[in-house]
Structures are given as structure tokens and as C-alpha cells.
Amino acid sequence: MKPVKLNILAWFMLFFFLGGCASQKVSLTCPSPPVASPLISSRIALKNELDGMIGRELLPYSLASIKVVSLQSGSTLYETNPHLLMPAASVQKLFTAAAVLSFLGSDHSLETSISVNSETATLYLKGCGDPLLSTADLARMVAELTGKLRPGVRYKLIGDTTCFDGAYWGSGWMWDDEPAPEAMYLSALSVNRNTVRVTVAPGKSESAPVQVSVEPPTRYVSIENSGITGKPGGSCKVSVTRPAGERENEILVSGSLAPGCKSVRRRLTVWRPELYTLTLLSELLEKSGVSTDPPLLGIVPADALLLASTRRPISEIISVMLKKSDNLCAENLFKYLAYAQSGQKGTSAGGEKAIKNYLRSQGIPTDRLVIADGSGVSRYNLTNADTIARLLVAASKDQAIFPLFAAALPLAGKDGTLVNRMKGTPAEQRVKAKTGTMQGVSALAGYTVTADGEPVAFAMIVENFVGAKQRVRKILDRIAVLLSTYSVTAPIRATTR
């Protein structure tokens, strides 16, 4: 019997609706838009409505690149400046996700391993970019070493980061984003998102130093605490930072917390994340009774004996990358894709080449694109709504990647970066889309289903605006609502301003 092939509409509706309807129940229908919702009666009316909204609220001071495509007919429902190049912020992660799933498959995984050379008493930790590795993962591997190491021997500890190059940041990243956790340093050996969490609480008495704790507890960072406990009813303001540009791991705490103030929590990046990972491993080994020398970098020899390992499925990484817009997941997958395809150290140039190869394989032109990183953090990235919409259409046709690709997208009003957007509208739990935000840029790209049950892909980028990003987000959300209520039969009503 020949395998049954689903046409694009049937395939899209199956996986979109299974993952996108209200609650966790399996259903093949999304909630119908409320009767009172605005419905767009025709493509001409849709164009007039969107042109008016964009003209009134975005132009002439800002730039917009928008394209909407029917997945049923393949026709363009709406477009404005579809080829205008601009950075798309975190919408760039869609390129990374589709290319990784296409070339590596959802069953692929990233391994982190501990090996030993007993003759030289050397332990090796090798990573290939697992962005979700945690202290708990390291502890589990250390537990697996019980009975496998020689008692009373002091081991050398070597980290192997040769899966990636030595670039700690992406090209075109902004220096003043440091030490925000979204601008973490990069390494093939990453742990705890390459950050520490610092908690500051009032001291036990007035004028006493504030209490500072670090999670995970580690000697890799030091604390300079000049914060004091103030008078009752006083200030609750403290500064917790690692000075930008200083390649050290000293955390500075200053300011004042009065008794009764809530604890202040900050997540900060760490410099040299591979040494951070090795230090945490060394500390865990010490707790288990194994002493080590200060960690160094090197290469695992071919004759080293594998003792313990952990694997992270690509599917899990992509879900976190898209749902939470996780930059480390995107950057490590970007470099790992280059490594897996070439067998050489993963680089940003190799990641760009791999993604452009994928796009060209789908018939998408790449000659005018700039793909500087995998996350969209770089200001050097240049793409447009036409390219993103084509990518979304191509992904929807690929039965090997689309189920995971669609399921990993944030669901409006439900989860991820769309959890608080489009609530109480016909687009709630109907729109699945990736968000993108940076200074002066707001983007939204993904899928929805019209009031007639027609699946569509849309891509929207707005740049060169000033003021609150929430204003532009609301405009993009209103466009997504219009698409979700679009109908060829129902009359048009005025949109909510």
C-alpha cells in the first residue's frame, strides 16, 4: 500500500489546530470569533483597512515591511514594502529553527561528556553547545563517576570546547547590553545560561551590610558589597551589576535596603563561561571526594575512556528558543549547525552559510540577506517580510519539520512571549507567532486561521520608531486580529482604534 500524503491544507490544519486551540484537549476546531468581532469582507477591504492603519499610526516616521500569504491558495492577501530590508530582531530565530530541523532532524541531540585518561590522571569535559546544561546535569554526571576513579589521586581537569570557535559574542552585538542575561557570552561549554543569579536582602540590623547570595554558590564569582541596611521606612534601591566591558567576574552591590524591603534578584552574565562550567564541575567533584587541579582547556584524546554523558534533544532546545525567545539556544544551535555540517569548528560564518543553503533549497533568494547571528541580537542582520513569509510557507509544506516547528511557536494569550498579548480577542489561541523586539524594532511572524478556516502565514517588521514599544506591538496585534477575523462573506466593520 502506498503511503497517504496529506495536502498542505490538511497537514497544516491538523498540526496547527492540535497545538493551537483552547485548553489541552485535542480538537480540530479553533474557537470561533465572537459575533461582535470586526470581520473583513474582501481582500480589497482588507488592504484598505491595513493601509489606513499603517498610514495613520506608523508612517511617515517609521518603516514597515509586511506580507500575508494564504497557505491554501498560495496567493498574497496583503503586502506593503515586502522587500524592504531591515533587522527583524528575534524573528530571526525562525531561520535557525527551520534550518536546524531540516538538516539535523528533531531526533538529533547535543552531547556533553566526561572522559578520563587514567595513565595521566586527567579528566576531560567536552561540550558541543548544549544551551540548557545546568548544575544539576553536571551533578548527575559526577554521580555516575562513583567507583570509576582511582581513590586518593588528584586529577587534572581539561575542558574541550573545539566544537565552536573562540568568539564570545555575535558580530554586531551592542557592548552596552552587557551584563544583561540576554547578552550572555558564548561557548561550547555553557551552563546555567552562562549566568548567575544574585539575591540581595536587608541585613539583620540598621547600617549592617545587605545580605548577598549567589546561585549557584561558586568561587568563580566574587562579591564587592557596599550596600547597607537602611532605616525603617527608608529606601529600597540597590544596584547589582558586573561592570560592562570589564572581563572579570566581580559583582558590585551598592545602595540601601530598609528593613522590610523585598529581596532584589538579578541574573548577570559571567565572563569565560567555559571556565565557569569547569569550575562548577570541579566544585562538585570536590564534594564527592575527588580533588582536581585548576581547570585548563585542551582536546579529548582519542584513547580517553567515556565515563558519563548527558544529551539534550534538539526538539527541547528549539521549543525553548522559540517559546521563550532564548538567545543562547539560538546562538549555540547556529554554531552547532555549522559544526555538524562541516566537521570543523562552528562559526557564525558557517551558520550563515548553512541557513542560506537551506533557504536556497526552498527556492528562497538569499543574495540580499545578511544573517550575522542565529538569535537576531545583531544589528547587522537584514531581512524582509517577503523572505520570512516564504520561510513560513516552506516550513508548512515540510511534514518532517512542521509539527515541531509550529508547536514551538508562542500561542497568543497562552504561552511564551505571547502569553499576555491578544487576550480576549479572536486571535487568542488562534495566532502562533514569533515575536521580535529591540530598540526601535518590533516584529511578529507566524500563522493564523481566518474566520473562514483559511490558514495564512504572515510576517510584519516595523523599525525606526521612538517611544514605547508597546504602542507598535499593539498595532501588530491588531493586524493579527484582523487576519484572524478575515472573511470573504461577512461584512466589514470598523476596527477598534
Peptide bond into 403 cis (omega under 30): no
Catalytic annotation present for 90: yes
Helix spans in 112-250 (H): 135-144
List the catalytic residue out of 37, 62, 70, 90: 90
Contact predicate 129/190, CB 8 Å:
yes
**What cell numbers appear for 465 in the block?**
520608531
List the catalytic residue out of 256, 325, 378, 487: 325
The alpha carbons of the chain give a radius of gyration, in whole angstroms, of 25
- Give the Cα separation of 269 and 197 in Å (integer): 9
Catalytic annotation present for 93: yes
The sheet with strand 455-463 has its strands ordered as 76-80, 63-70, 455-463, 441-449, 432-438
Q: Exposed (0-12), middle (13-18) or buried (19+): which is 211, by Cβ within 10 Å?
A: middle
263: which DSSP letter? P
Place of cell 569550575: 279
Provide the phi-psi class of 63: left if phi over 0, else alpha when psi is between -120 and 50, else beta: beta
Measured CA distances, 356 to 369, 394, 406, 411, 420 (Å): 9, 14, 21, 28, 33
Catalytic annotation present for 115: no
H or E stretch at 11: helix 8-20
Q: Exposed (0-12), middle (13-18) or buried (19+): which is 156, by Cβ within 10 Å?
A: middle
List the catalytic residue out of 67, 70, 93, 375: 93
- Give the Cα separation of 433 and 203 in Å (integer): 45
- Give the Cα separation of 47 and 43 in Å (integer): 6
The DSSP line for 32-48 is: PPPTTS--B-SHHHHHH
Three-state secondary structure along 277-338? HHHHHHHHHHHCCCCECCCEECCCCCCCEEEEEEEEEHHHHHHHHHHCCCHHHHHHHHHHHH
Which active-site residues does the annotation give?
A: 90, 93, 325
